[in-house]
Amino acid sequence: MVDQVEEFDYVVIGAGSAGCALARRLSDLTGARILVLEAGGADERPDIHDPTAYYGLWGSEVDWKYETVPQPAADGRVIAVPRGRVLGGTSSLNGMVYIHGDRRDFDTWAYLGAHGWSFDEVGAAFNAMEGRGSYRDADAPATGPLMPAVVSNRSEISQVFIDACVEVGIPYNSDLNSGDLMGAAWNESTIFQGMRQSSYRAFLAGIADRRELVVETHALVQGLDVNPQGEIHRVEYLSNGRPRAVHVRREVILASGAIDTPRTLLLSGIGSASELERVGVTPCIDLPEVGRNLVDHMLLGVAFGATREIDNKNPNITECCAFVKSNDAVLGSDIEISMGKEKNFVAGYDAPEHCFTLIPGITRPQSRGSLTLISSDPTVHPQIDPRHLAEPEDVHALVRGIEISREIANSRAFRPWNAGEVAPGNHVTSRELIQDYVRSVATTWFHPVGTCRMGVDSGAVVDQRLRVRGTSNLRIADASIMPEIVSCNTNAASMMIGWRAGDIIASEL
Ligand SMILES: Cc1cc2nc3c(=O)[nH]c(=O)nc-3n(C[C@H](O)[C@H](O)[C@H](O)COP(=O)(O)OP(=O)(O)OC[C@H]3O[C@@H](n4cnc5c(N)ncnc54)[C@H](O)[C@@H]3O)c2cc1C
C-alpha cells in the first residue's frame, strides 16, 4: 500500500560515485526538485571515513555482497564482487585511487559512437568537478567540490618503487591525469584532510540544506513501471521495507552501478525478451544487450619478503604505480603495476614478518561476460559471469605483468629491501607454472563496467545523451554505460559520467 505521493522533477536511483555527482550538478544547474533514492543507509560507520580501514567494509552490511558464478578459466573459483550499499556507494568502500584515464580511452568511446565523450570533452567535466586549483588547464580554474590529491607524506618504499621503475626503463610520468598514462607516477587519491572523500561527502554532504534536493536512504527500487509509450510517471520503492511511491515530472535516472542498473532494467522487463520470458518477467522493451558486455580488470600479487619493516605512513593502499605495455604491438599501456605495502596480499601464501607486494593488473582485458536474471523475484541475486581470464590474451598480459614486476623488484634500487620472492616463488619460472599461478590467484580489481553500453548502433543500451533506447524519460548515468573500460581504476570516470549527465540533462531544458 502506498502511503504518500510527492512530486519530483527528477528521480535519481543510487547515491554512489556517479549518482551523487549527477544530483549535485543537476541541482546546481537547474535548481529542480530532485529525489535521490539510496538502498543503503547513511555513512555512519567510522571506518568508512578512515582511509586505513576499508578492508573491514568489504563483506559488511555496507556491501551488496555479490559474487560471480564459478569461473572455469580461473580454476573454477567463485570471486567476490563487492559493491557499496551506503551513501557514496562504492566510493565509500573503495581503495581511493583517483586516475582519470588515458586520452585514447575516451577518444575510443567517441570513435565507437559516443559523440561528446572524447578526451577533450570529458576533460572539461573532470576539471569542473575538481577543486584543487587546476594545474592542467590554467584557463579553466578548477572550482568543483572534489579534492583528489597526491598524498604528501609518502612512504620510503614508494620512492624506491619509482626509482626502480626508472632504472629498468619505465619513464617517470609527472602527471597521471594529463591524458597519457604511460610511466611510473604518484597517483592521486580521494583523501581530503586525512579522511576518505566519498562521492557523497564531496558532492552532497555540504548541500544537505537545499530544500529542493532530497536524499532518502534505505530506499530500494525493485523495478520500474514503463508504460507502452516508453514513459515513467511514477517510481515505486521500498522505504525501510514499506511500499512508497513518488510522481516524476521529468525524468528518472538510474545510477545504481554496473550490477544493479542492468538488474533493475531486467526486473522491469527491459532486456532480452526471450530471456526475460524464460525467468517469468513480462518483457516490455526488447534490448538484448542489457547485462551483456560485462568487463572487469583482474590483478594479482607478486610478493617479496622485506629486509626491514615497511613504513606505511600513508593510509592509502597504494600511492604510486606504473603503467606499462605487455608487448610492443599495444598502443598505450595495458598493465598497471601498483606498489602494495600491505601484508598477505596473495591468498594462500604466508607473508613473512616484513613484506611488500607488486600488484600487476590488466587494464585492457579481452574477456567479456554477462549479468542475467535467474528469477523474477527481486530479492534473488542475479547471475554474474564476467568470464574472468576466458580469453588467453588476458592470461598472457598477466604473465607479462609478473615478469615486469620481478624485473622491478630485482633492480638495484630494491636490493637493500628485497629479501626474496615469496609468491609465486623463485621455483615458478616456466611459462606453464606462471600461467597456473595466474589462474589460481588472479582476482577482480573490482572494476565491473559496460553492462548498459553507450553507442549509436542498434545494440547499444543508451545513446550518447544516456537515454535508454525505447524510453522517453529514462537515462542511465554510472559505470555501466562505458562502451570500453578505461585503462585504469574506474572511480574517477564513474564520477565524471554522473557530472556530465547533469550537464547533458540541464542543457536540454
Ligand atoms: C573494493 C573496491 C575497491 C575499489 N578501489 C578503487 C580505487 O581505488 N580507485 C578507483 O578508481 N576505483 C575503485 N573501485 C571501483 C570504483 O569505486 C567503481 O567503479 C565506482 O564506484 C562505480 O560507481 P557507480 O556510480 O557506477 O556505482 P556505485 O558507486 O556502486 O553506486 C551505485 C549506488 O546505487 C545504489 N543502488 C543499487 N541498487 C539500488 C536500488 N535498486 N535502489 C536504490 N539504490 C540502489 C547502491 O547502493 C550504490 O550506492 C573499487 C571498487 C571496489 C568494490
- Domain stop point among 413, 441, 469: 441
The protein residue with its alpha carbon nearest to ligand 1, atom 16, reads 491
Pocket of ligand 1, candidates 181, 256, 451: which has the most ligand atoms within 8 Å of its Cβ, to mutate? 256
Residue with cell 607473508: 351
CA of 501 to the centre of ligand 1 (A): 17
Q: Which atom of ligand 1 lies closest to the CA of 449? A: 19
Tell me which H or E stretch contains 189: strand 188-189
What percent of the chain is predicted at pLDDT more than 70? 96
Does any ligand 1 atom lie closer than 6 A to the CB of residue 12? no
> CB of 48 within 8 A of CB of 90?
no
The protein residue with its alpha carbon nearest to ligand 1, atom 9, reads 97
pLDDT at 186: 95
Kindly state the DSSP code that residue 176 receives in the 8-state scheme.
G
Q: Which atom of ligand 1 lies closest to the CA of 489? A: 11
Does any ligand 1 atom lie closer than 6 A to the CB of residue 97? yes
In the predicted structure, residue 139 carries a pLDDT above the cut 80: no
Does any ligand 1 atom lie closer than 6 A to the CB of residue 264? yes
Are 432 and 464 part of one and the same domain?
no
- Taking residues 73-79, what's their average pLDDT? 98
In the predicted structure, residue 136 carries a pLDDT above the cut 60: no
Are 359 and 302 part of one and the same domain?
yes
Does any ligand 1 atom lie closer than 6 A to the CB of residue 100? no
Q: If pLDDT is split at 50, 70 and 90, which confidence band does 2 have?
A: very low
pLDDT at 134: 41
Dump pLDDT digits (tens) for 355-366: 999 999 999 999
User: Which contacts qualify for 163-171: CB closer than 8 Å, 24 or more apart?
Assistant: 163/411, 163/413, 164/408, 164/409, 164/411, 164/412, 164/413, 164/414, 165/322, 165/408, 167/411, 167/412, 167/413, 168/404, 168/407, 168/408, 168/411, 170/322, 170/324, 170/408
- Name the domain count of the chain: 2
The protein residue with its alpha carbon nearest to ligand 1, atom 30, reads 90
Does any ligand 1 atom lie closer than 6 A to the CB of residue 221? yes
pLDDT at 142: 63
Dump pLDDT digits (tens) for 378-429: 999 999 999 999 999 999 999 999 999 999 999 999 999 999 999 999 999 9
Helices (H) and strands (E) counted in the chain, each on its own, are 11, 26
The span from the CA of 152 to the CA of 309, in Å, is 20
The protein residue with its alpha carbon nearest to ligand 1, atom 21, reads 90
What percent of the chain is predicted at pLDDT more than 90? 88
SS3 474: strand
Which has the higher per-residue pLDDT, 79 or 311?
A: 79
Does any ligand 1 atom lie closer than 6 A to the CB of residue 448? no
Sequence-ordered list of residues with C-beta below 8 angstroms from that of 370, at least 6 positions apart, any chain: 291, 292, 293, 294, 385, 451
pLDDT at 135: 45
SS3 318: coil
Which CATH number belongs to the domain containing residue 180 in this structure? 3.30.410.40
- Taking residues 75-88, what's their average pLDDT? 98
CA dihedral (277, 281, 285, 291) positive or negative: negative
Does 100 qualify as catalytic in the annotation?
A: no
Pocket of ligand 1, candidates 491, 497, 499: which has the most ligand atoms within 8 Å of its Cβ, to mutate? 491
Are 271 and 302 part of one and the same domain?
no
Are 143 and 234 part of one and the same domain?
yes
Dump pLDDT digits (tens) for 148-206: 988 878 889 999 999 999 999 999 999 999 999 999 999 999 999 889 999 999 999 99
Please state, rounded to an integer, the average pLDDT across all residues of the chain.
Answer: 94
Are 415 and 333 part of one and the same domain?
yes
Q: If pLDDT is split at 50, 70 and 90, which confidence band does 497 have?
A: very high
Q: If pLDDT is split at 50, 70 and 90, which confidence band does 312 have?
A: confident
In the predicted structure, residue 372 carries a pLDDT above the cut 90: yes
How far separated are the first and last CA of the chain, in Å rounded? 34
Which CATH number belongs to the domain containing residue 459 in this structure? 3.50.50.60
The protein residue with its alpha carbon nearest to ligand 1, atom 31, reads 16
Are 166 and 254 part of one and the same domain?
no
**C-alpha 204: how far from its chain's center?**
19
pLDDT-wise least confident of 240-244, 267-271, 316-320: 316-320
Provide the greatest CA pair distance for the chain.
Answer: 70
Question: CA distances (Å), 95 to each of 5, 31, 176, 339, 385, in order?
Answer: 39, 33, 17, 13, 23
C-alpha cell recorded at residue 431: 611459462
Q: Which atom of ligand 1 lies closest to the CA of 38? A: 44
Q: Which atom of ligand 1 lies closest to the CA of 256? A: 34
The protein residue with its alpha carbon nearest to ligand 1, atom 49, reads 89
The protein residue with its alpha carbon nearest to ligand 1, atom 23, reads 17
How crowded is the C-beta side of 105, counted as CA atoms within 13 Å? 25
Q: Which atom of ligand 1 lies closest to the CA of 90? A: 29
Does any ligand 1 atom lie closer than 6 A to the CB of residue 316? no
Are 158 and 284 part of one and the same domain?
no
Does any ligand 1 atom lie closer than 6 A to the CB of residue 51? no
CA of 500 to the centre of ligand 1 (A): 17
pLDDT-wise least confident of 242-256, 317-331, 389-403: 317-331
- Taking residues 20-38, what's their average pLDDT? 98
CA of 307 to the centre of ligand 1 (A): 37
Are 181 and 71 part of one and the same domain?
no
In the predicted structure, residue 138 carries a pLDDT above the cut 90: no
> CB of 181 within 8 A of CB of 333?
yes
pLDDT at 176: 93
- Taking residues 11-22, what's their average pLDDT? 98
- Taking residues 32-49, what's their average pLDDT? 97
CA of 12 to the centre of ligand 1 (A): 15
Does any ligand 1 atom lie closer than 6 A to the CB of residue 435? no
Are 96 and 129 part of one and the same domain?
yes
Dump pLDDT digits (tens) for 94-112: 999 999 999 999 999 999 9
> CB of 256 within 8 A of CB of 478?
yes
The protein residue with its alpha carbon nearest to ligand 1, atom 18, reads 491
CA of 22 to the centre of ligand 1 (A): 14
Dump pLDDT digits (tens) for 443-491: 999 999 999 999 999 999 999 999 999 999 999 999 999 999 999 999 9
Pocket of ligand 1, candidates 181, 217, 295, 446: which has the most ligand atoms within 8 Å of its Cβ, to mutate? 446
The span from the CA of 106 to the CA of 270, in Å, is 27
Residue with cell 570516470: 493
Are 501 and 472 part of one and the same domain?
yes
Instruction: Answer yes or no: pTM beyond 0.95.
Output: yes
Are 115 and 4 part of one and the same domain?
yes
Range of the domain at 73: 1-147+195-294+370-383+448-509
Are 131 and 164 part of one and the same domain?
no
Pocket of ligand 1, candidates 94, 102, 199, 264: which has the most ligand atoms within 8 Å of its Cβ, to mutate? 94
